[in-house]
Copies of this chain bind each other. A is one copy, B any other.
Amino acid sequence: MLSISKRSQYGLYFLIFLAKSKQGKFFSIKKTAKILHLPYRYLSQIAKDLKDKQILASKEGSGGGYFLTKKPEEISILEIIELLQEPINLIDCEQNICEHKHNCKMRKIFLSLDNQMQTMLKDIKLTAFYD
């Protein structure tokens, strides 16, 4: 099944939750995980990744938590997926080690498909998920 990982899915849920919520507040993983019914420890890894990528910022300590660093309308799902699940790369040709050079029309075609997908995903921002 060609699909998005849970990791990306959960990350997306979290970001959408933040996007819909009041700005300027901190949201703790523990509370948010409970609200969204997501596994706490797993979500905290994901949040950490998203912070390293600077889509999120955090404040430690009591009353701390995470918040978005950008406007929801500036965050695309491509960004999120590429961070949490590696790049979109429909066919993995492991850089030219492959023996099927005569078939590498295939590579070109799939690279073009990759680009089309990226374009599609780049155009969908967090705001698209508002009710």
What DSSP secondary structure best describes chain A's contact surface?
helix
Contact B129 A1 (CB under 8 A): no
Q: How far is the CA of A121 from the CA of B91 in the complex (A)?
A: 13
**How far is it, in angstroms, between the C-alpha of A94 and the C-alpha of B16 when the chains are bound?**
20
Bound: A100/B3 CA distance, A: 18
Contacts of A3 in B (CB 8 A): 88-92
A–B complex contacts, Cβ < 8 Å, 26 sampled: A1-B86, A1-B87, A2-B89, A2-B90, A3-B88, A3-B90, A3-B92, A4-B90, A4-B91, A4-B92, A4-B110, A9-B91, A13-B103, A13-B106, A16-B103, A36-B100, A37-B99, A102-B131, A103-B129, A105-B129, A105-B130, A109-B124, A113-B121, A113-B124, A117-B117, A117-B120
